[in-house]
Structure 1
Amino acid sequence: MTSELRRKVWSFSLPMICELVVQQLYSVIDMAIIGRYLGARQLGAVGNAASVIMLFLVVSGGFEMSVDVTVSRLLGAGKYKEKAAMARDTLFISAISGLILVVIAWISLPALYKAISLPENMMGDALLYGRVYLFALPIIYIYDVGRAILISNERAKISFYLLAASSGLNLILNLLFILVLHLGVLGSALGTVLAQGLMMLVTLWLLAKMDQQEKEPVSLKPDLSFDKFKLIMHIALPTIVQQFAVTFGATLVQAWVNPFGQEAILGYVAIVKVMNLATIVLVGFAQTLTLMTAQLLAAKKYSAVRAVYRYCSKVSLIYWLLSSVLMVLASRELAGLFFDPVQNQAAYDFFKVYLLAFVGIQLLSVFKFLNEGLLRSMFLMKEYLYCNLGELGLKLAVNWLLLAPLGTNSFWSSQLGTRLLCVLGSTILILKELQRLEAEEKAGV
């Protein structure tokens, strides 16, 4: 692998990883504040609310991925005017989608909480938190897709600064609203909405400024032809379906956890936050792989695609080893961020066993995330969807079958086994596609 490619991997990945770290670290700190200063009941309520909220946030993730792939490809092909127009139109569609989903979210929230068997004593706090948070969906969509546009235009540092500022402001507002004004879970939701609203305005200003600096600035008026809409949705829709299915699966698992009682809920909320934080580096390299290989594939540099994949795998495996050792050694301290391991011994036992299993799950995730990144950049969206939905469906089925004999151990055991099958399947698909592309190159197609 050339030094230029290696440098580009780090120039893409470091800002994205730092951005994801800040995002997840804020989430962990937010939950820690709720658990430590408001109590176990409020932590359980917000943890359940967060799993349902994610069902509506996945749409934003789909449009972010569409921007990543389409804008990166146009940039690699030197089509700067088309690149700017694609970014503008994707941002517009995401904003309209956010407005529509606000209504759906507001109406459906109570039924969704009942469907996941949310304990009655947590219902009030969960409804208050969820409705305030979800009311800001259009703001969140514009903010997230706007930062994705900056990243795909190789301005990842600016996106990181925006997220760092948003998370810092969010944390300050949460402390003010919860500890000083005593607004409870309402304060936590308000802090998030206000911080992201302000950063959305800054993001739009930066995008307008970037457009003015282009050689061929485009009109602000959307131009949504059917072909362009189809291209945007070709990437966004499978990603939305995949992320929705994964999030729905996580919500369903939360529904299976809830009947085990408050201790199990505490342990599960805590381990989910720790796992999300631990996978950030892997997700960062997977997104880097998507962006870089989209450009390399457009230029038909297939040997460079293999080199970038191998390098990202190597770095990810080193990270897996170091992070696994640290997590196992600091399991009690990690759990202590969210609840008292002494007072909640059953919650800690659940947390610790899951954390040990997560070492194996994380190893398989190295290749799961990288394979997904490569499938996206190859425009193999159906295959990408099959791998994800296949793993999810099998995991839920196995989890359900093991609930009675294994109890809470069914949650980690089903995830570990099905992830192995997903990695094997996606690896076979990628090898076949690379062989096909290289054969076409040799034949001069």
Structure 2
Amino acid sequence: MKDLTKGKPIRLILLFAVPLFVGQLFQLFYSLADTRIVGQTLGDEALAAVGATTTLSDMLLSFLNGLTNGFAIVIATCFGAKDERQMKKAMGGTILLGSCCAVVLSGLCLLNMSGLLKLLNISPELFAAARGYIGIVIAGLLAATLYNICAAMLRAIGDSFTPLLFLILAAFLNIAMDYGFILCLHTGVEGAAYATVIAQAVSAFLCFLYMRRKYPQLTLKKEDFKPDMILYKKLFGAGLSMGFMTSLVGIGTMALQTSINTFGTDIIVAHTAARKISSIYMLPFSVMGTTLATYCGQNLGAGKYSRIRQGIRDTVLVTFVWCTGVIISAYTVAPWLIRTVTATQKKDIIDTASLYLRVNTPFYYVPTVICLFRNSMQGFGDNRTPVISSSLEMIGKVLIALLLAPAIGYYGIIVAEPIVWFIMVIPLVVNMVRSPVLKMKDRESTSA
């Protein structure tokens, strides 16, 4: 367990973030492995079927991941306040509520699968493969959620290293099973989905087992799962806010995907590759944001408001340095990265994906601020502003999908992100400056 309320803020934040970054990198790594293995062994059409449904699975996983991360903020606040009794009850509530939400969401989506795929404008030649792949992924949402619950609880008490170990295990297991299912068992794109779900389930089981043995003081009892409506209100307040925040982003991206799916297989493959690479480029934004949520939650519980201010400021400056490196990368090695991800040699695919990256990356300083401010606000209790910002993103992307993309084609999709970023950052900056938490004196100073 790691206390983030003592010591130099930026040092603590970076030390906490590094295992988280490596873990998320491995998670992206086995996602990229899926993409390359499918593209290399099954061809561009199979890869397009997977890519055409990725936004749907990403949206669902983002909601559940946001939900559990929001629950973990309540756990982190209890940990910072040294309230072990309430912290255990919050952990019990997190497991119970998170699992129920995953099961309900899986059931609803499976019952309406055909309608969801039609909503995405999946072409007839891709429909069967897309349905097979996404159906398995959605059926396995509980496995991903259980891992995220365990990882979020460990991060809440300051342990970001243990989740890394199990993500690395999941990554290698996923890649091995990809080859086994696709090349040996000839299961097609469904094999890639089975590999992902099984790897997540194994990772979740081992992570829970480890936590039980490593932290026996956190072993939950039957009474920790007893419903506490006041506590559950806090959990849902933080969890639904963060879950809706991330899923609203996903809904907007899904709206764009409905337009992309009408542009043909090459554009779908190019966009899939560009989004995979941009996910790596943007990874430090989300990792530092997740770290700040835990950091702010612990320091809020401890009443150390000056540390919240300093941590946010220092993290923004450090992440801006990464943005500069990303821009250089997009203008130098983007074509090589695209070939590596897709295994394609088609010039049109490589050029289109490169254009996407080169137009978007110079504006990355804006989403940096968005990710860091959004998560910080969740950490110190502002659940409203991040949802407003994410709602603006969703509305902007839907309008672009309806108006701009039909008028100027895929270039409308490319410029959509920067336009939306500038719109959604406004409420975050305004409310961050106005936030009463950032103007409060430390609790020790007040009582002195």
Task: Note whether the superposition's TM-score is higher than 0.5.
Answer: yes
State the 1:137 CA deviation.
Answer: 1.9
In structure 2, relative to structure 1, the CA distance for the partners of 1:217 and 1:238 (3 Å cut) is: closer
2:26 aligned with 1:22, yes or no?
yes
Contact 1:266 1:347 in 2 (8 A): yes
Code of the residue aligned with 2:248 in structure 1: it is A
Contact 1:84 1:211 in 2 (8 A): no
1:83-94 correspondence to structure 2 within 5 Å? 83-94=87-98
- Structure 2 residue runs of 5 or longer lacking an equivalent are 1-5
Code of the residue aligned with 2:383 in structure 1: it is M
Moved more, 306-315 or 344-353: 344-353
State the 1:423 CA deviation.
Answer: 2.0
1:137 paired residue among 129, 135, 141: 141
2:396 aligned with 1:394, yes or no?
yes
1:290-305 correspondence to structure 2 within 5 Å? 290-305=293-308
2:366 aligned with 1:364, yes or no?
yes
After superposing on structure 2, the runs of 4+ consecutive aligned residues of structure 1 that deviate more than 6 Å are: 439-443
1:24-423 correspondence to structure 2 within 5 Å? 24-210=28-214, 212-214=216-218, 218-219=221-222, 222-339=225-342, 342=345, 344-423=346-425
Moved more, 58-67 or 180-189: 58-67
- The alignment of Structure 1 onto Structure 2 pairs a total of residues equal to 443
Give a deviation string over 1:31-78, Cα, whole Å, max 9, x none: 011111110110011112222222332342133222331111001000
| Structure 2: distance between partners of 1:125 and 1:393 | 30
In structure 2, relative to structure 1, the CA distance for the partners of 1:405 and 1:322 (3 Å cut) is: same
Q: Secondary structure at the match of 1:329?
A: coil
Give a deviation string over 1:180-211, Cα, whole Å, max 9, x none: 32221121111112211222221221233245
Code of the residue aligned with 2:18 in structure 1: it is L
Q: Secondary structure at the match of 1:260?
A: coil
Contact 2:59 2:247 in 1 (8 A): yes
State the 1:439 CA deviation.
Answer: 7.3
| Structure 2: distance between partners of 1:127 and 1:404 | 26
In structure 2, relative to structure 1, the CA distance for the partners of 1:122 and 1:212 (3 Å cut) is: same
RMSD over aligned CA atoms reads 2.3
State the 1:267 CA deviation.
Answer: 0.9
In structure 2, relative to structure 1, the CA distance for the partners of 1:194 and 1:258 (3 Å cut) is: same
Code of the residue aligned with 1:373 in structure 2: it is N
| Structure 2: distance between partners of 1:395 and 1:143 | 30
State the 1:79 CA deviation.
Answer: 0.6
In structure 2, relative to structure 1, the CA distance for the partners of 1:217 and 1:401 (3 Å cut) is: closer
State the 1:434 CA deviation.
Answer: 4.5
State the 1:442 CA deviation.
Answer: 12
State the 1:176 CA deviation.
Answer: 1.5
Give a deviation string over 1:310-366, Cα, whole Å, max 9, x none: 211121111111122123211111111244654x33222321111111212322111
Q: Secondary structure at the match of 2:112?
A: helix
Moved more, 400-409 or 432-441: 432-441
Contact 1:361 1:415 in 2 (8 A): no
2:402 aligned with 1:429, yes or no?
no
Corresponding residue for residue 3 of structure 2: none
- Higher relative CO (Cα under 8 Å, sequence separation at least 6) belongs to 2
Contact 2:252 2:393 in 1 (8 A): no
Moved more, 238-247 or 278-287: 238-247
| Structure 1: distance between partners of 2:390 and 2:264 | 30
Moved more, 296-305 or 266-275: 296-305
User: TM-score, structure 2 length as denominator?
Assistant: 0.93
In structure 2, relative to structure 1, the CA distance for the partners of 1:317 and 1:146 (3 Å cut) is: same
Moved more, 351-360 or 56-65: 56-65
1:4-19 correspondence to structure 2 within 5 Å? 4-19=8-23
- Structure 1 residue runs of 5 or longer lacking an equivalent are none
Q: Secondary structure at the match of 1:78?
A: coil
State the 1:369 CA deviation.
Answer: 0.6
| Structure 2: distance between partners of 1:243 and 1:282 | 14
State the 1:435 CA deviation.
Answer: 7.1
